[in-house]
Structure 1
Amino acid sequence: MTASLEVDGLTIASGGHKLIRDVFFTVRPGVPLTLLGESGSGKSLVVQAIMGTLPAELSVTGRVVLDGKDILGTDRRALWGRRIGLLPQEPWLALDPTMRADGQVAEVYRHVRGLPWSQARQSGRARLRELGLEAASRRYPFQLSGGMCQRVALAIARAAETDLLLADEPTKGLDRALRDDVANGLKAEADRGRSLITITHDVAVARVLGGKVGVMLDGAMVEYGPAGSVLDSPRHDYTRQLLMADPSAWAPRKPLAPRDTVIEARGLTKSFGGVPVIEDVDLDILAGEVVALLGPSGSGKSTLGNLLLGLLRPDRGEIRRKAGLSPLRFQKVYQDPPSAFAPHQTVRTAFADLAKRHGLDWKRFVPLFERFRLSSGLLDRRPGQLSGGELQRFALCRVLALEPAFVLADEPTSRLDPITQREVADLLHELAAEHGLGVLMVTHDHAMARNLAGRVIELRSAEPDASSPGGVTAPA
């Protein structure tokens, strides 16, 4: 069975404020739709309206018509995993922490597709093998990198083979090769006759998927049409700005003058379960410089950063931090921002607790909110009511408010649209120069690393099925 979807005049409001205004589009089998736009523009709210998972306090009007039937306002749980599938933005929240990867895929084949357990397990492992995760199939989510978790979530979504697939940022946290594999895999699903809506910040993904593209800004769809027309001959100023903000178009930053070493490591080696992740890594970070740490998913980038911060203990090697600095001045911006915020309290409460714990004046936060374009109204929302990009910017503000000497920024811009991504990257560079902040930025984006960082360090692949552990291979 195939599914056709029509969204007609969709409007979502909170109180008297419209978050989404009169959005129209259609999705046909085999013709994917990609939604582009900055963080907070409303893309994920549109998907939630289709799924029927909008927060209860939001009001919604318009029509969401699936195969001729308006499903808006109806209970859609019977459709989940059968007719409508979701690849969520945050795999860290979507995966069951108590189940191994292969079991999570297998249960889709067992309970949704009705296969016997033996066949379901074989099919689940085959899906993981397609995505390069065969050797990771018996691991739990906490034992996988962010990119690996993203691929497990993708395997689950593809296993259901729903008529309509909603993919919310399916390639975030993936290196370029895996990004292209995932994008081509989604296109193959559409080519097989599935209806597909993809939310992404990555213009390259939109080009691979083809079909149609809708560009959203401040809750409205400002441009909509065939992918080739929108991406090659945009009519709206915002679309042109979005396309011009790709990291490949950034001008390289000038290296900063050398300063004191803020943290250094010699001969770092770490294994998990007997599998080496990094081996004999040497590096040093100077005050005031931005160093990019490149490498494919699973190469040990986050592990190396956690070793530097003392969150993990090395099996072998030595770490030296600048004398006289409190441990509080060595901070981390997490790859998955929901993991850094309590889900049931507002962002304002999180910052108030931070201020109380460390004796900070609220006035310290205000300039950071302004620099990161975060309105005061967002403070009274819970983390689940914010976009991934908004939450990531709040995470950056919270870390920078502590005036760190060193920051491990683990994929700090992976959830941001190109325009906001460039703004945040500029701010990190400015703050490093202004305050002598040493930054180790973990990224998969070669263009961003090359144009933002003064130095680039690359790790070899260290996927669990790789033959060699991660190590520094190409400082630049």
Structure 2
Amino acid sequence: MSEPLLELDRLSVRFLLGRGTEVRAVTDATLQLRPGRVLALVGESGCGKSVLASALLGLLPGNAQVRGEAVLRGGIELLSAPEPVLAGQVRGRHVGLVPQSASTHLTPVRTARSQLVEAIRALGGVAGPDELAERVGLDPADLDRYPHELSGGMAQRVAVTLALAGNPQIILADEPTTGLDRPLVHRTVDLLAEAAIDDRAVLLITHDLAAARRVATDIAVMYASRIVEAGPAEQVLADPWHPYTAGLLAALPDGGFRPIPGHPPALTELARIEQEWGCVFCQRCPDVPGFGPCTGDPELLDLGDRWVAAHPPC
């Protein structure tokens, strides 16, 4: 098996809000991203997925406390790397970012071409703007448009060209399909999957399980700051072991449109819920009787190619 491009070991992020209030945004995330793979990190909005992405790129606010490890192949430890290393070696060169709402991240008074040329020059890219445009299925002439002249799909493709400008080994796509209609969602994730070739890989962060199912080779399911299940996408989606994963699948059209009852807990309440209930999903779990808490251990169990949060019958 090839060496991982990125390894996360018990990555945790906390935000201190004052008066003793703590937001548990990410808790003990452990993942591996390998060449030629698309790893989809899925879960409901607000579970901590985008915070994890920001932690990898050193883009968290000053009140964040980070622990654990996130190591790139070659030895760069992202969580402890100083800003000059992140800015000069990591962002754009090792890890290219496709942000949410691509059109809002483009400078409105400059053409797409001028922004792409600047990115290629700054990152030392070898491919020209027209070549990158053609690689993502964009007419090179569209690069001469201003952001307000681009459709949503064009803007998304420009964002992907910017992420590819420095020829990174990892594409980190943070909710790249937000606000897009279904056909455009399919085109966007298909485009990202095409980037996971040879020695490259994609980390797709999304709340859209249908989009993830379309392209993911591996999947990690996140709930209330914790990864509760992970493994090969085909296995996890065909035979989910955690009730949260099963609930997400049941909420899809082909699963019967059966949403999970209730709402995810506030990230400020996780410590109390874990203490009282044993795991943070128990208040919504169909396996838990109404009169008692879950006896599950929130630690992940390694079961070969698959990981699952311990969740014994209650």
- Residues 98, 172 of structure 2: 8 Å contact kept: yes
Shift of 1:204: 3.0
| Equivalent residue for 2:207, pick from 188, 201, 207 | 201
Q: Is 2:171 the counterpart of 1:161?
A: no
Q: Distance in 1 between matches of 2:51 and 2:266?
A: 18
Aligned Cα root-mean-square deviation (Å): 2.8
- Residues 221, 229 of structure 2: 8 Å contact kept: yes
Match of 1:4? 5
Shift of 1:95: 1.1
Show structure 2 runs of 5+ residues with no match: 17-21, 269-314
Any idea what SS the aligned residue of 1:26 has?
strand
Return the TM-score normalized by structure 2: 0.71
- Residues 109, 159 of structure 1: 8 Å contact kept: yes
- Cα offsets for 1:350-394 (capped at 9, x unmatched): xxxxxxxxxxxxxxxxxxxxx9989698xxxxxxxxxxxxxxxxx
Shift of 1:85: 1.0
| Equivalent residue for 1:143, pick from 137, 144, 149 | 149
Percentage identity across paired residues of the two chains = 37
Q: Is 2:87 the counterpart of 1:77?
A: yes
Matches within 5 A, 1:152-191: 152-191=158-197
Shift of 1:28: 1.3
Q: Distance in 2 between matches of 1:124 and 1:57?
A: 38
- Cα offsets for 1:79-120 (capped at 9, x unmatched): 2111111111132442111211222223333332355xxx83
Q: Distance in 2 between matches of 1:191 and 1:376?
A: 36
Q: Is 2:119 the counterpart of 1:108?
A: yes
Q: Distance in 1 between matches of 2:14 and 2:267?
A: 18
Match of 1:126? 134
Any idea what SS the aligned residue of 1:191 has?
coil
CA shift in 2, pair 1:109/1:229, >3 Å:
same
| Equivalent residue for 1:90, pick from 101, 113, 128 | 101
CA shift in 2, pair 1:122/1:190, >3 Å:
closer
Letter in 2 for 1:241: G
Show structure 1 runs of 5+ residues with no match: 252-370, 378-476
- State the aligned residue count: 253
Q: Distance in 2 between matches of 1:196 and 1:376?
A: 27
- Residues 35, 213 of structure 1: 8 Å contact kept: yes
- Residues 12, 59 of structure 1: 8 Å contact kept: yes
Match of 1:42? 48
Shift of 1:133: 4.7
- Cα offsets for 1:13-67 (capped at 9, x unmatched): 1123422111111111112211000001000111111111111111001111112
Any idea what SS the aligned residue of 2:195 has?
helix
Shift of 1:219: 0.2
Q: Distance in 2 between matches of 1:374 and 1:11?
A: 18
Q: Distance in 2 between matches of 1:134 and 1:122?
A: 5
- Cα offsets for 1:173-221 (capped at 9, x unmatched): 3343333333222222212320221112222332232321000000000
- Residues 131, 155 of structure 1: 8 Å contact kept: no
Query: Over alpha carbons, which structure has the higher Rg?
Result: 1
- Residues 65, 71 of structure 1: 8 Å contact kept: yes
Shift of 1:169: 1.6
CA shift in 2, pair 1:201/1:19, >3 Å:
closer
Q: Distance in 1 between matches of 2:225 and 2:155?
A: 30
